[in-house]
Amino acid sequence: MFLSLAQRLDRLKVRTAELDHWRERSTLAIEGCTFGGEEIAIGQVWPHRNGVVHFAAQASVPADWPLEETRLQLDLGGESLITLDFGEGQQESFGLDPYHQEFPLKGRNLAISTDSVARFPFGEPNRQPKLNRARLAWLDLPVHRLHLLLRQIAEAIGALGEHEVVPHMLDAAEAALRSLDWPSATEPYISRTAGAEGQRKIWELPELIESPQALSDRERRSVAEAYQQLLARLSTLQERYPQNGELLLTGHAHIDLAWLWPYDETRRKMRRTFHTALSLMERSPDFRFNQSTAHYYAQIEADDPELFARIKEKVAAGSWEVIGGMWVEPDTNMPTGESLVRQILYGQRYFEKTFGARHTICWLPDCFGFSGALPQLLRQGGIESFFTIKVNWSETNKFPYDLFWWEGLDGSRVLAHVFDNPMEGYNGFVRPDCFLPTWKNFHGKTLHDTSLLAVGYGDGGGGVTPEMVEREEQLRAFPAIPKARWGKVADFFTSAHVTAGEKRLPTWSGEIYLELHRATLTSQSGVKRLHRRAERALITAETVSSIAHMAGAASPTSLEANWRVTLKNEFHDILPGSSIREVYQDAERELSEVIDHAKEVQRQAMEAIASVLPKGDVADAIVVVNPSLDARPLNAVLADGSIVSTGDSIEPLSIRVFDRAALKPAVGLRASADQLENEHLVVVIGADGAVQSLIHKASGREALAEPVNQLWVYPVDKPRNWDAWDIDVDYAEAGVRLDKPESIELIEEGPHRASIKVVHRYRDSTIVQHYILTANSRRLDIETSIDWHDRRTLLRSLSPVAIRSRTATFECAYGVVSRPTHTNTSWDAAMFEAVAHRFVDLSEPDFGVALLNDAKYGHSARDNVLGISLVRGPIYPDPLADEGEQSFTHALMPHAGEWHSGGVREEAEDLNQPLIVASAANLAETSFAALDVTGTSVALSAIKPTEDGDGLVLRLYEPAGRRGSLSVQAANGWRIGDAVTLMEEPQARDAGPDILPFEVRSWRLIRR
């Protein structure tokens, strides 16, 4: 009777499994292990699991064991960095985790020491850690090799399906097994196989031999011969059935800077993983490993200089590929454009200084969508290629390309590659059943002959295993599967660029929106606000210090150290809100320190400005600095807490001195119990606590279709997966509107500002909102303070406005994105929650309404309803995410014309960065403008000290998609120097007008 191919494959797997029980010829337990200096026995629970603990032991390899066939086997009950000391100054370290528990030896006598934590790779605690195993093992290498080869044959057959090579591979494997001279003596056989799954189910096994005999020399020779014959038959089959397709393997260990563990643990993960990678390089000249993230190298440089020196040697030798070009692998949805610039600027400068080269590949495998600003910034930073695989995670629509040009907002392009590996994505395996589907899924194979595949345990680090290296060598002989060899990512992209120059690749234009993980725009909103404030505080500190320098004060110094802290906290599992509580405790502290330092720099800059301004007879002077490129009305909070909102205008990037006594409020501010009014707006607050009416006085238009700032609570914010990451599309099916406020009262009606306070309660949470209108404001501010104590509940504000438009405008880094307000297609419907920076706008040609914010990112625009997500309460991985108090402001702004002509971006800038004011004495009423920018309307990204300490750098961008002339004139004593890239190097530009749509331009400012 003949067996089917499936039955034969099952039989092969069963007979292959038998070999594993003879893989070890002999073992020797390591006695006398200690834990923190106290003896601990095999199988004993750790005395405690607090922090980092230390095991130690001594071992000697028996004299009759060949050293090259001997392995140290350890399972300590957690993750460890183990160091083996062989005497005479010879040491080697390895990472120990569930996938790395067997280690080669360089000497017969060894001292073992460890730094261990009772955690598994994804941060899970081992609540009862044990010393499970500590022994030496003498491997039967022929058995090990044949067992692995047969496993790979079974895996390949399973993946090849009905391919005609399959029966030939089965024939070869079965012949190899039949050729074995295999032991069968009852007692040793039963003892050897006692650990098999079936044997463990037996009610009671016979008495077992403690050390059952290994294969005899004759039996071992049969195994070695079977192995060679099987490899030869595979090679012969390969001639008939050549390998199909090609994968470039890059060893990888994705290490999340922080996620389900705090950053201190990441520092240990780095050392463990990097030691493991170096050990593999020592034993395999073909192995290649890549690691991104300048911050990691800087940390290793500080923590372990010896390890860092070894990495540099392997980088120089070409085995270790430094990649990425950015400070960390950041979220790209929420950081401002200037933050993305600094990711590249400081990352590339570090790589060049440390390793002698900048990088040409942006490596972001795991981010939750990609800003359309990136291609332009990457190109200015010398990066021409982009890699991710996260687009494969979209839950509704399949991203259509995997080798393509990615075109940014301004038209800049980078060559992008995505691979689709169904076996753990960027944490792939060296296995034929990983290679085959990855190649099958590569649509670009009709244009290019190779795809990337990153392999190695990751997220929690660990990286490639010795078995993966051995697997690659064996698979070179296999028929029909894709060819796969270790190589450099840079070599892949070099070849892909050649293809792109010869063939027409598809193009994806604009942002890459991930149809998943939308809640990362809202979760841990307290840290998001701190990050927004840190970005703005640093940019403003540089701006005010630079203006002071141009006015005659001393040259400012670089804030790189503070930027590095901010950039670190933009990592794609920190800023998005998907980490554990300990991560956010660190982030809150670090970002608060950045804000404090930047505010101190601002204060010192204002003192410096006051010291160089003309003296005069204004005893009680107010010094005002406008840190933006837009004229602003004087609207500020003074040092004593008083408010000024006048008819005065502050010119862009200027200093102006006022006599405080002469400041008069803008006319027209009035307030009552339910109404606020100034020269620009009439606001009516209803009994439900929402805005019932919002009249734009210049046009006479009612801006609202229904009450706006409706507060809605959604108590079924319970995604099917990824609690902190996701908002499921059906969340709105069960909503509760908060329309019965506890109180509404007029609390402020001064000549400069008026305010109505509304208090809502929902279950255990309290929401207090202040509707604020200043005398000269064109927007209604809604200051919100929340005391939040509800889990898995989402709070949103909805605003139905009297506007009809098929698209809404969302601000992004260095520009805007237009998104549909309808759900015509699945692509449209999938954008039910999307990122916006400081505003979302809905406009008709002659009128519109904008929703502004100073701390939020998750927005929606459906039909005529603008929505903003305010707070959620996920329970994983932080059960107390956003628990407690937080404050933020959003605002409503009706305007004439479309958003760019109606001043929306300018108001959003003012909300996020008010004018800088300071008190001074005995000054003259005067003004000073650092720059005069005319022509096409542009926005300021930064004025900062150059990184080489010579002058300043001015960075502007076009925010609305226009092109035209641009003139920049500097104050007396200064001149505009050469145009530069974001790397602050000369920029060759031959592009027609002085500014192009969404273009980012930089110049040196030089003192005459």
835 contacts 815 by C-beta, under 8 angstroms: no
Query: What is the full DSSP assignment across 934-996?
Result: EES--EEEEEEE-TTSSSEEEEEE--SS--B-EEEEEPTTEEEEEEE-TTSSB-----SSSB-
Q: Please, what is the end-to-end C-alpha distance for the chain in angstroms?
A: 96
CA distance 625 to 653: 7
Q: What is the largest CA-CA distance in the chain?
A: 112
Quickly tell me which residue has 């110094």 as its tokens: 557
Q: Give, as one character, the DSSP assignment of residue 420.
A: -
Q: What backbone phi and psi angles, to 5 degrees, belong to 805? A: -155, 145
- From the list 75, 97, 331, 366, the catalytic residue is 366
CA distance 908 to 783: 14
343 contacts 330 by C-beta, under 8 angstroms: yes
Q: Which region, left, alpha or beta, applies to residue 520 given φ > 0 means left and ψ of -120 to 50 means alpha?
A: alpha
Question: CB count, 10 Å around CB of 763?
Answer: 11
958 contacts 965 by C-beta, under 8 angstroms: no
Question: CB count, 10 Å around CB of 104?
Answer: 17
259 contacts 329 by C-beta, under 8 angstroms: no
Kindly give, in sequence order, each residue whose CB lies less than 8 Å from that of residue 899, ignoring residues fewer than 6 positions away: 809, 816, 839, 841, 843, 848, 850, 905, 960
In this structure, the dihedral spanned by the alpha carbons of residues 502, 503, 509 and 511, taken in order and rounded to 10 degrees, is: -80
Instruction: At 497, list the tokens.
Output: 């660029």
Which of 116, 99, 106 shows the shortest CA–CA distance to 33? 116
Question: CB count, 10 Å around CB of 168?
Answer: 18
Q: What backbone phi and psi angles, to 5 degrees, belong to 343? A: -55, -45
Q: Is 366 among the residues known to form the active site?
A: yes
Residue 660 burial by CB count (10 A; 0-12/13-18/19+): exposed, middle or buried? middle
Instruction: Tell me, rounded to whole angstroms, the distance of Cα 13 from its chain centroid.
Output: 41
Strands ordered across the beta sheet of 1000-1007: 939-945, 952-957, 1000-1007, 974-980
Question: For strand 289-291 and strand 246-252, is the pairing parallel, antiparallel, or unpaired?
Answer: parallel
Which of 377, 333, 361, 441 shows the shortest CA–CA distance to 831? 333
Question: For strand 483-486 and strand 451-455, is the pairing parallel, antiparallel, or unpaired?
Answer: unpaired
Residue 68 identity: E
195-197-203 Cα angle (round to 5):
85
Instruction: At 827, list the tokens.
Output: 């692509």
Task: Enumerate the β-bridge partners of residue 957.
Answer: 939, 1000
Return the active site residues. 366
